[in-house]
Structure formats: C-alpha cells, structure tokens
Amino acid sequence: MQSAEKFLQYRGRFAPSPTGPLHAGSLVAALASWLDARAHRGQWLVRIEDVDTPRTVPGADRLSLAQLAACGLHADAPPTWQSARMPLYRAAVERLMADALAYPCACSRKDIENATTAETPRPRHAELRYPGTCRDGLHGKAARAWRLRTGGAAISWQDRAAGPQMQKVEDAVGDFVLLRADGRFAYQLAVVVDDADQGISHVVRGADLLDNTARQIWLQQCLQLPTPQYLHTPLVLGANGEKLSKQNGAQAIDTSEPLHALNQAASALGLPTQSDTVEQALAVWTAAWAYAWMRPEGQVQAT
Ligand code: GLU
C-alpha cells in the first residue's frame, strides 16, 4: 500500500470534509499546509474527506475546490475523493481483523454513555471513551461496529508547533471505531490509510485535531505504516470566542476578495499582510514561513 521511499520527498495535503464551504478557519489550515509544502519545495495535494456520508453536503466539494483556486492555492495533482477509495479502507480493516487488533462491538451510543461519563462539548472527531465492553466477545449480540484495540501504550510525538506531546489512547478515548455496521469507515481509519497511501510526509492542520493524532499514530503502528511529521496551526476563533466550524454556521470565505480572505488567514498564522496582490502575498508568506518553521534548531513560533 505505502512505501517508505515515498517519504524521501516532501508531500503535504489539505483534507477538507465537504460538510459546507470553506470558512476562515479552514482557509488557515489550507494556507498553512500550502505554505509548508511550498517552503519545502514539496508537493501539495487536496483530498476531499467524504467518508462521513450523512454530513456530506452535495456540491460542497466543488465549491471548496473553487474557493482554493480563487485564493491561488493550486494543488500539484488532481484532487482525490475518499468515497472512491473504499477498497483501500476495507483492506486495512481486514488486515487489522486478521491480526486480532480489530474486534466487533455491539454497544449502542446509549450503552457507552451509560457506562462512561460523557464530557460535553467534545472537540471535533472526539468520541466517548469506550470502556472496552465487547473486547472479550459479543456474547450473542449483533455487531454494530468494529473497534481497534488500543492496548495500554502511551503515544509520544513531537508536534512542530505544539511541541512534545503524549497521550495514552486507552485513557483518552479507549478502543475507537474503525468501521460502522452500516459500512461507513471512520475518519481515523481513512485518514491514516490515505496519508500513507499518498505518501504524505508532513501533515499541517488545525489544532482541533491535535488530540486525534495519537490515535492516528497508534493506527499507523498497527498497520506498520510510517508516521508523518505533524504541525497543528492555531485555531481561528469567532467573535464569540468559539472555534469557527461549518457546524456552528461559520461563514463561507468571500472569494470575490481573495487577498482579504488570505490576509485574515495569514494574520492568524502571524504572517505580514502588506502585499498588493495574491501572488506577491503568497511569495512573501512562503519566505516568512520557511524562516519561521524550517530553521535547523527547531521550530520557532511564527508570531
Ligand atoms: N477532514 C478533516 C476535517 O475537516 C481534516 C482531516 C485532517 O486534516 O487530518 O476535519
């Protein structure tokens, strides 16, 4: 599926979920990942993450691609859609099942809520901590999902922006879902399979996904896939201090004024905003990004 030699060159990606048009927060992640790829003289890919079909909004994929193009953020290869890659995800789950790392679970959400203390609100892609009820068998019940055994391992990694990280997945979320009974693959599985299959060497995305990273690294280890480098950018908050998201109605970026939209994203990344054109701004920011994030002594905050 993957090959280690793909990592010899820089390859980054932006991976929007087509649950609505891109908003100011998504543009920060898009711009940061584009700049990191350009600063490394690497490739930048766009992947439409449409595995979570009930939340997919028809046309949001095309709109997002048009928004990126209007902002001058062009990918180095045609975009990919996760919905076209199901056989890859199935093969990965089958491998985990064969290795007894994935197991069927009969618990409903209510069962899990009853067995754990639900924390609200939970960040994007967060799950209720699963207490391991079906780890030793279904006891005659029907499977609703397949979960990954998390073991007790503590996952440590170095985030290029957030610094050293450590998470015991077992304590944070427990054995997490890979595949639901209705055939939907979980984000965690699809993102890990795709990052490896596409040879992604560097992941640059919003800080709201920082706490998902340990799950993804654990899954990479279970599938014997390489771990990319991670950089989680600061979150863009709305006027009410809440994280902007498509779910809470964040406004689509206005691409009739791409420089304005890009300047807002650049300010969130601590980059200067004095350029007159999109082309000039992207060139200035690429140089500033390289200076801030690619120094040999480590990673210096861009602000
Ligand atoms: N599709 C994910 C989202 O929009 C982002 C995944 C990623 O960058 O790893 O939440």
pLDDT tens track for 117-171: 554 555 566 668 999 999 999 989 999 999 999 988 899 999 999 999 999 999 9
Which contacts of 92-101 are long-range, i.e. CB under 8 A and separated by 24 or more positions? Answer: 92/1, 92/189, 92/192, 92/193, 92/223, 93/146, 93/178, 93/179, 93/185, 93/189, 95/223, 96/146, 96/148, 96/178, 96/222, 96/223, 97/146, 99/222, 100/149, 101/148, 101/149, 101/222
Predicted pLDDT at 114: 80
- Could you give the domains of the chain? 4-302 (3.40.50.620)
Alpha carbon of 12 to ligand 1 centroid (Å): 13
For a ligand 1 pocket test, name from 13, 14, 17, 230 the mutation site with the most ligand atoms within 8 angstroms of its C-beta.
17
Average pLDDT over residues 225-249: 77
Q: Which of 236-245, 256-265, 267-276, 282-291 has the lowest mean pLDDT?
A: 236-245
Alpha carbon of 16 to ligand 1 centroid (Å): 6
Residue ranges lining ligand 1, Cβ < 6 Å: 15-17, 49, 124, 191, 205, 209
For a ligand 1 pocket test, name from 64, 187, 208, 215 the mutation site with the most ligand atoms within 8 angstroms of its C-beta.
187
Nearest atom (ligand 1) to Cα of 26: 4
**pLDDT over 50 at 11, yes or no:** yes
Nearest atom (ligand 1) to Cα of 216: 9
Nearest CA residue ID for atom 7, ligand 1:
15
Nearest atom (ligand 1) to Cα of 124: 10
Predicted pLDDT at 249: 59
Predicted pLDDT at 6: 47
Q: How confident is the model at residue 300 (pLDDT cuts 50, 70, 90)?
A: very low
Q: What digits encode the pLDDT tens for the residues 272-281?
A: 999 999 999 9
Global pTM reads 0.90
Q: What digits encode the pLDDT tens for the residues 180-203?
A: 989 999 999 999 999 999 999 999
